[in-house]
Structure 1
Amino acid sequence: ALEEPGARPASAPGGSGTAAGGDGPGGAEAAEEDEERPARVLIGLERFALAEESLADGLARLVNSTPKQDGSAADWERAAAAARGAAADLVRAVAGHGLVLHTGGEASLAEPAALLRAARALGLRAWAAAPGVLGRDRFSALAGGAPSAPGTPDPGGPPAPEDSDSAGPAPAVTVTGLLAGTEGPGRDADGALDLDLLVVLDAPHLDVEAGALLVESLPDGARLVLAGDPSVLWSVGPGRVFADLLAARICPQVASRLPDPGPLGELVSGIGIGELGQVEAPGKEVVIVPVRDAGEAVHRTVQLVADSVPRAIGVPAEDTQVITPGHGGAVGTRALNAALKQRLNPGPGRFGGFDPGDRVVHSPVPGRVLPGRVVTADADGLHLSCAGEDVVVPPELVERTVRHGWALTAHQAMGGRWPAVVVVLPGDAVRALSRPWIYTAFGRAARHLSVVQGVEQALPRAVAEVPAKPRTTRLPVLLAPQVPTD
């Protein structure tokens, strides 16, 4: 949104009124009346403005309505009593409210998983949805399902609750698949989603358009839980839905008390509050690799992925993800992917620069990332295996929608978590660094993090002094007259 100050009309020479600061009776007061106070004017694309209004209306409907009475109050209380810590608070909040916010780090995912199992045991049609396949598969692995794509946690991730088998694995889908009807419960006779409870994971990644479509699709009496880590990067698309709702305080907010474990958890938690401290890493959970120039950064990155991490940490190259600030430049994703392909899957690139076995990401629309591998190619296009599904990309779309995926940007990696991560910060990356970027990139590692860095003191300075880039939104203003606040 753009902001313009209101106009200040100039006095006409020789006019009948007195000029500002004039000597006539009431001259000062008249001058003040003639001047308009500065006004804040927001200019934005109509589609986003309408989506934000629709989202505000839908959220107000959830907050102001009584949830469908599935199970008695005693049933909900028994379910809460069986849970632990903040999971019990979450169950109690959902029992009586149509909209609930849940915040926490990676370990806190166990709490929405416990909520879904409790709700299903009470007979609710309960589902979880994530903005991307990385988040969906990560949650499915935690909740007891089988991972179907790279980017899911290994056994070093947060443990599932002890009652994880009480109602089977919690069903998880993508937001896109849920809205399109290709995943999840489908829609009822009225066109609403056929569910009673929806938990949206990785909620900071939800943009205003997807948020509006979701709340519009919820049936009357449904419950919505938005869960996520408020310290990560915001959505690729417009808006800051989760942050705006946290600030608006229009519904219950449940903060997890589960800390992310180990040296990596300690490191990332410190970054979240603006401190980049040294942590004890006896198992080489965190390794810093200083470099002097771009060429050395590329060389050390390839060496780490192909040799050092597999040998010293026991994580193979296919389970290691490289993250860097941008696509271009001497140490962007293009340069790193070219070097990693040459080492890990060399080939002539006969199919638009790709060969069978190449690790890739497919982006059918901007902001949507599907990790996968190249299977083959023919006259129909490039055949990929993405998140357990066969995808054929027509030849004319390959260059625009498919990239190699050994190295990603932090936005592309959002929602994912890998056993090992190599974050590459060349000297020219200083301007791209911020606390949310570093928090997001470092937080993708489950067991091991290597930081290849040539930015020196710019790294702790960015953690301490560079917050998220501001976004101007109207959601809190639109919600204020519709929903009573605390």
Structure 2
Amino acid sequence: MTALPPGTAPGTPAEGVADAEEAGVPEVAEAADTPEGAGEVAEDSVAEDSAPAAEDSAEGAEGGEDTAEAGDGGDAPGEGDTAATGDTAAELSEAQAELVAQRELRARIEARKAEKEGPVAAGTKLSGQAADLLAAVRAVESGEKPGASFFASAPAPRRPAPLPAAPAPVRTQAPQPARVAAGPEALAAVRAVLGEGGAPDSLTPQVADALGEQAADVLRTDPWQLLAVPGVRPEQADGFARALLGAECGPDDPRRAAALVAWTLERASVQGHTALPIAAVKAALAERSVPDVDEAVRHAVDEGVVLVFEDGVAALDTEPDDGEEDTPEEEAAPVEVLLGLDRYALAEESLADGLARLANAPVKDDGSDWEQAAAAAPSPSAAELIRAVAGHGLVTHSGGEAARAESAAVVTAAHGLGLRAAAAAHTRDGRRRLAGAVGAERAFTVAALLSGTEGPGRDEDGALALDVLVVQDAPQLDVEGAAMLVESLPDGCRLVLGGDPEVLGSAGAGRVFADVLAARAVPHVASRTPDPGPLGELVSGIGAGELGQVEAPGKEVVIVPVRDAGEAVHRCVQLVADSVPRAIGVPAEQTQVITVGHGGSAGTRALNAALKQRLNPGPGRFAGFDPGDRVAYAEAPGRTSVGVVGSAGPDGLHLDCGGEPLVVPKERVESALRHGWALTAHQAAGMRWPAVVAVLPGDAAQGLSRSWVYTAFGRAERHLSVVHGVDQALPRAVAEVPAPARTTRLTPLLAALLRTPEAE
């Protein structure tokens, strides 16, 4: 394998695809990237598949401003009469059931916060290590201990207590009903206060949902609580506060500072962070003209708006300089200071405790012959994985697409031994592929397991009736979803977290799979089974940071150079509609276009418009869609299903998702559905197609990273065409640009709970 020449990508030249040059490309001078394109195209962020409310929270290392897509929640045509008639279905859909389950988890978190009634002293909302640190600092302040004693008093890592013999705690068997919507009087009060502050009436339902039945009183007391409504920006909240408070409103208002701290951390969560360094929070506050950022952060911590971790309290409440030289103990190297929202802090702690519970619980000795099952495994790596699962409650497994067969072999082996075994994937497509390996009765999506719409059912304690669970696509697990899943598993259940660590991470906050691997405290099996063929060789090289030339005698990889975005769109349509079907034998309906972002002149919007015009023109008579349109449906933030429009009915728009019927409720058509011939790489994660056309126009260069290229190119099973207009930005991204880092706390939590001599 040789290195790429400048400006090229691996594979066969464009002429290798029949008809690729027959249609001709007009000689157009290379156009400069437009500011709009440059600003929008590099938005393939963790937030892409978030709800539309997170649109403005995705600006940062990974995101842009066009996150409110359907598929991630917006920019779909208006809802038409045909799809907007009739009553909604009586039963909860899978997505609705999952949201109910999430509300249940958050309700339990809120209950923990409200365990004590009455006034709460400053700082008492902290828990765990943060509370211990605060107690140590206040002992220093009161004179009970010298300042140097702070570091010595920092709590040691927690070790798990011996496993009790008592039965597992009772879990709720079914999700609780969703929160009752605010009544007409509450909505009218919210509408009135929004009007006084100059905010639009259209925000009323969102404000009531975010702030509850007393939303109007909350806003009058603290106008900056408007920032709790997804999509509201600080300058809008400031204007609202000025209108309500008048002369009392100022940039140094502690209510404003506390709300800005929470908003900063919420925005960071859209980029995958569960916490932020205190310096980053202070810098964000300074950009918003907060006069005293140290006091603002201290106030937010004291009020319980955020939690502080590691050496955070010491950084907030340092001793004044007394002019004396510091002792060596006082000159100790500083520890990183983190601030986080309790929502994610509690989710990470719950997840760490749950994983430790599974890992520390003795596996059941039921007399099963695991060794015989391992001997019958289809590969040495599969045999190694089966042996690891036989003796441990928590195992990690990494590898490419071929490695999925190894974790599936665990389910087959466990079922053959008479155990209750199942496997779960991130997407419907992943479940379909799983079902082919382990049987449809043992293959589910993670979301369906959590919502209860699929799965083995629950035992008498409310836990999933399973002895072995294999989770593929584990990199797509966010921390809240992972916490819910682990909490649903009974003691003694064996859990396998498997996936490809090189792919793009979850759309939600956290990096669960990477953090568990980094803890190095549970058995890990790395697959030795390579992905086959030229595509496997290409993608494996990308994972290692090398974009190499591969031999593709069957035109498995084809390069289509372009000079500008307009040419990229033209060649993309030509490949999907003509060249790939004729030369490769893959029809247009089995070819997926993947690009870097939604906006720009060659983003998903532009490509979908051009592909619809060529492949399925029509007036959009079903809420902007026609029968035969390929669409992307955001069932929940971070989870996209691709299907074809069939018809519309009183219950909504009917889709065919790979032979599986799916109904998009009429009230969600506008916000959660868009055309899907072209997707972003984040939306495509967890799915594969026979052919993929990756479109990389010149203004996409800033959105490229190794993980993006690895994910996009790895979605192809038989053929990959690369519409290449980024010159050296592609090999440079593969060699030098890793995925943007995420700040999380799960690794140290797990390292403390699962500490072993080997890990130390």
TM-score, with normalisation over the residues of structure 1?
0.88
Distance 1:9 1:178, change over 3 A: closer
Q: How does 1:72-471 map to 2 (within 5 A)?
A: 72=368, 75-83=369-377, 84-141=379-436, 143=437, 171-471=442-742
- Shift in Å, 1:272: 0.4
Distance 1:438 1:170, change over 3 A: farther
- Shift in Å, 1:214: 1.1
Counterpart contact for 2:435–2:442, Cα < 8 Å: yes
2:339 alignment partner AA: I
- What SS does the aligned partner of 1:363 have? strand
- Shift in Å, 1:317: 0.5
Counterpart contact for 1:70–1:124, Cα < 8 Å: no
Task: Find the partner of 1:64 among 350, 360, 379.
Answer: 360
1:279 alignment partner AA: V
- Shift in Å, 1:359: 0.7
Counterpart contact for 2:408–2:470, Cα < 8 Å: no
- Shift in Å, 1:437: 0.5
- What SS does the aligned partner of 1:179 have? helix
**Counterpart Cα distance in 1 of 2:334 and 2:396:** 36
More strand by share: 1
For residues 70-113 of structure 1, what are the alpha-carbon distances to aligned partners after superposition, in whole Å with 9 as ceiling and x for unaligned? 334xx111111122311111111011100011111111111112
Counterpart contact for 2:572–2:693, Cα < 8 Å: yes
**Counterpart Cα distance in 2 of 1:216 and 1:188:** 13
- Shift in Å, 1:390: 3.5
For residues 303-337 of structure 1, what are the alpha-carbon distances to aligned partners after superposition, in whole Å with 9 as ceiling and x for unaligned? 00000000000000011010001111111111111
- Shift in Å, 1:237: 0.8
Counterpart contact for 2:545–2:734, Cα < 8 Å: yes
For residues 151-203 of structure 1, what are the alpha-carbon distances to aligned partners after superposition, in whole Å with 9 as ceiling and x for unaligned? xxxxxxxxxxxxxxxxxx77210011111221110111110000100000011
Distance 1:249 1:344, change over 3 A: same
Number of aligned residue pairs: 447
- Shift in Å, 1:37: 6.9
- What SS does the aligned partner of 2:338 have? strand
**Counterpart Cα distance in 1 of 2:475 and 2:355:** 16
- Shift in Å, 1:394: 3.7
**Counterpart Cα distance in 2 of 1:10 and 1:46:** 27
The answer for unaligned runs of 5 or more in structure 1 is 20-26, 146-168
- What SS does the aligned partner of 2:525 have? strand
**Counterpart Cα distance in 1 of 2:441 and 2:381:** 18
Q: What percent of counterpart residues are identical?
A: 71
**Counterpart Cα distance in 1 of 2:568 and 2:530:** 32
4+ runs deviating over 4 angstroms: 7-12, 30-33, 35-39
Counterpart contact for 1:70–1:122, Cα < 8 Å: no
Counterpart contact for 2:503–2:710, Cα < 8 Å: yes
**Counterpart Cα distance in 1 of 2:340 and 2:755:** 27
2:731 alignment partner AA: P
**Counterpart Cα distance in 2 of 1:70 and 1:233:** 39
- What SS does the aligned partner of 1:28 have? coil
2:376 alignment partner AA: A
2:427 alignment partner AA: G
Distance 1:178 1:9, change over 3 A: closer
**Counterpart Cα distance in 2 of 1:221 and 1:365:** 31
**Counterpart Cα distance in 2 of 1:36 and 1:88:** 48
The answer for unaligned runs of 5 or more in structure 2 is 1-274, 280-314
1:2 alignment partner AA: L
The residue aligned with 2:277 is 3
User: Which range is displaced more, 202-211 or 359-368?
Assistant: 359-368
C-alpha RMSD of the superposition? 2.0
For residues 113-170 of structure 1, what are the alpha-carbon distances to aligned partners after superposition, in whole Å with 9 as ceiling and x for unaligned? 22111111100111000122122112223x165xxxxxxxxxxxxxxxxxxxxxxx77
Distance 1:144 1:343, change over 3 A: farther
The residue aligned with 1:152 is none
- What SS does the aligned partner of 2:325 have? helix
Is structure 2 residue 356 aligned with structure 1 residue 50?
A: no
User: Which range is displaced more, 464-473 or 75-84?
Assistant: 75-84
Distance 1:88 1:144, change over 3 A: closer
- Shift in Å, 1:484: 2.0
User: Which range is displaced more, 366-375 or 459-468?
Assistant: 366-375
1:47 alignment partner AA: R
Counterpart contact for 1:370–1:387, Cα < 8 Å: no
**Counterpart Cα distance in 2 of 1:32 and 1:377:** 71
**Counterpart Cα distance in 2 of 1:117 and 1:303:** 43
Structure index of larger Rg: 2
**Counterpart Cα distance in 1 of 2:319 and 2:419:** 65
The residue aligned with 1:151 is none
**Counterpart Cα distance in 1 of 2:445 and 2:652:** 25
- Structure possessing the higher relative contact order (Cα contacts under 8 Å, 6 or more residues apart): 2
User: Which range is displaced more, 201-210 or 387-396?
Assistant: 387-396
The residue aligned with 1:165 is none
1:62 alignment partner AA: L
- Shift in Å, 1:418: 0.8
2:422 alignment partner AA: W
TM-score, with normalisation over the residues of structure 2?
0.57
**Counterpart Cα distance in 2 of 1:389 and 1:108:** 26
**Counterpart Cα distance in 2 of 1:316 and 1:327:** 24
Counterpart contact for 2:634–2:641, Cα < 8 Å: yes
2:351 alignment partner AA: L
Counterpart contact for 2:408–2:438, Cα < 8 Å: no
The residue aligned with 1:162 is none
Counterpart contact for 1:250–1:484, Cα < 8 Å: yes
Distance 1:42 1:406, change over 3 A: same
Task: Find the partner of 2:337 among 23, 32, 41.
Answer: 41
